[in-house]
């Protein structure tokens, strides 16, 4: 546990203790709610090097960040990414960092699960929206269902706790919610449903058509399962219930039907060094420029403190008027979810 008082406090007196860092905007899938099919990715010179990511994340840890989640794109497609995980493990060993975690599509877990566990990772979130192989191919466009299932097996074999994240998509996977609950319960994996968020141009897909309110989803779950509200928190925005019939937990991340901003303890660092203080706002701080201009970490600390001082009260995502309001222009893969 942390002894010192948190040093990053935003204007609304929220302690910032959780950093989500995107290590790449690239992915080996093209999920319909996340990317357009023909993406133009960032030139490699714009990306932070692994050493720069180490330096920035270490400064954040020194400022009181206790949880670090590595995201993408798909983080495990970045060349030599295990060097970064292995470097971050020193903060776990020192006690400065409580948790080092990963969000992944699961495609590379067979290759890396053992090394992730050795680096101190104990939990991974796997993004999986369907258990139907044909539907999986349609949602991910490029995805390989069998490879993801094998990756989940590998993660559990390595001793990693797996949580499944499923984006709720009306008319796409809304007929699978009971099957997902049953499957996760049988495998001792928690499950979190997420409302689709209005981020980036995704081609011919319609955000409003995709939107499946988790208020409706929970009501639909309660037609079959007994759900008991829990106080459990993992540091993120999910609210959890226990499914009495399976003993498993189901979480709900509801940026639209229930704004969770009042307890936000997170900021997001992109693979180009932009710090976004809110997932649903376009304001950012360019930490790459500071990082590359000086070897002085105090300058980085001051830039981070200045950014936190601009953290807004919340996002503006809104579908309530039957149109998509509060959109942001960047794709989810840029910010890292």
- Domains belonging to the chain, first-starting first, are 18-335 (3.20.20.70)
Taking the chain, what is the end-to-end CA distance rounded to the nearest angstrom? 26
The CA distance from 45 to 57, in Å, is: 19
Note the pLDDT tens digit of each residue in 249-297: 999 998 654 455 677 889 999 999 999 998 767 789 999 999 999 999 9
Name beta bridge partners: 127.
165
CB 188 within 8 A of CB 123: no
Confidence (pLDDT) at 198: 57
Sign (positive/negative) of CA torsion 92, 98, 99, 100? negative
Give φ, ψ of 16 to 5 degrees.
Answer: -95, 105
Which among 218, 102, 207 is positioned nearest to 165, based on CA atoms? 102
How far apart (Å, rounded) are the C-alpha atoms in residues 171 and 149? 24
Choose among 123, 133, 226: nearest CA to 176.
133
pLDDT exceeds cutoff 70 at 206: no
- Which pLDDT score, from 0 to 100, does residue 315 have? 52
What is the DSSP-derived secondary structure letter of residue 199? Answer: B
Q: Is pLDDT of 47 > 60?
A: yes
**Higher-confidence residue: 123 or 333?**
123
Q: Please enumerate, by residue number, every residue annotated as part of a binding site.
A: 20, 27, 31, 33-34, 69, 73, 103, 127, 163, 197, 261, 264, 266-268, 278
Q: Are 48 and 271 in contact (CB under 8 A)?
A: yes
Q: In the predicted model, is pLDDT for residue 151 greater than 50?
A: yes
| Two structure tokens written together for 295 | 């070897």
Of the candidates 9, 12, 6, 19, which has an alpha carbon nearest to the alpha carbon of residue 270? 19
Q: What residue numbers does the annotated binding site for S-adenosyl-L-methionine cover?
A: 33, 73, 127, 197
Question: pLDDT tens digits for 74-117?
Answer: 999 999 999 999 999 999 999 999 999 999 999 999 999 999 99
Binding-site residues from annotation for GTP = 20, 69, 103, 163, 266-268
- DSSP for 117-160 reads HHTT--EEEEE---S-HHHHHHHHSS--HHHHHHHHHHHHHTT-
**Binding site as annotated, residues for [4Fe-4S] cluster:** 27, 31, 34, 261, 264, 278
């Amino acid at each position: 546990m942390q002894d010192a008082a948190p040093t990053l406090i935003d204007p609304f007196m929220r302690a910032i203790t959780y950093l989500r860092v995107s290590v790449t905007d690239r992915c080996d899938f093209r999920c319909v709610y996340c990317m357009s099919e023909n993406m133009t990715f960032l030139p490699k010179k714009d990306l932070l090097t692994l050493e720069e990511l180490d330096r920035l994340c270490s400064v954040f840890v020194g400022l009181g960040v206790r949880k670090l989640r590595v995201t993408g794109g798909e983080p495990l497609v970045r060349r030599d990414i295990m060097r970064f995980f292995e470097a971050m493990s020193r903060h776990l060993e020192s006690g400065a960092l409580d948790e080092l975690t990963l969000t992944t599509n699961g495609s590379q877990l067979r290759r890396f699960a053992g090394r992730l566990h050795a680096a101190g990772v104990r939990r991974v979130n796997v993004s999986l929206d369907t258990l139907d192989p044909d539907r999986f191919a349609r949602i991910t466009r490029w995805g390989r269902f069998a490879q993801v299932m094998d990756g989940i097996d590998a993660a559990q074999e390595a001793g990693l706790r797996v949580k499944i994240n499923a984006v709720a998509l009306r008319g796409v996977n809304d007929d699978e919610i009971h099957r997902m609950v049953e499957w996760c319960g049988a495998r001792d994996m928690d499950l979190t449903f997420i409302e689709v968020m209005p981020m980036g141009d995704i081609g011919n897909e319609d955000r409003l058509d995709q939107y499946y309110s988790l208020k409706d989803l929970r009501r639909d779950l309660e037609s079959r399962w007994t759900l008991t509200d829990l106080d459990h928190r993992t540091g993120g925005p999910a609210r959890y219930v226990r499914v009495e019939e399976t003993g498993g937990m189901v979480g709900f991340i509801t940026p639209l039907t229930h704004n969770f901003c009042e307890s936000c303890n997170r900021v997001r660092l992109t693979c180009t060094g932009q710090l976004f203080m809110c997932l649903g706002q376009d304001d950012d701080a360019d930490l790459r420029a500071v990082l590359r201009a000086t070897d002085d970490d105090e300058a980085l600390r001051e830039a981070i403190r200045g950014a936190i001082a601009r953290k807004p009260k919340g996002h503006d995502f809104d579908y309530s008027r039957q149109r998509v309001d509060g959109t942001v222009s960047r794709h989810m893969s840029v910010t890292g979810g």
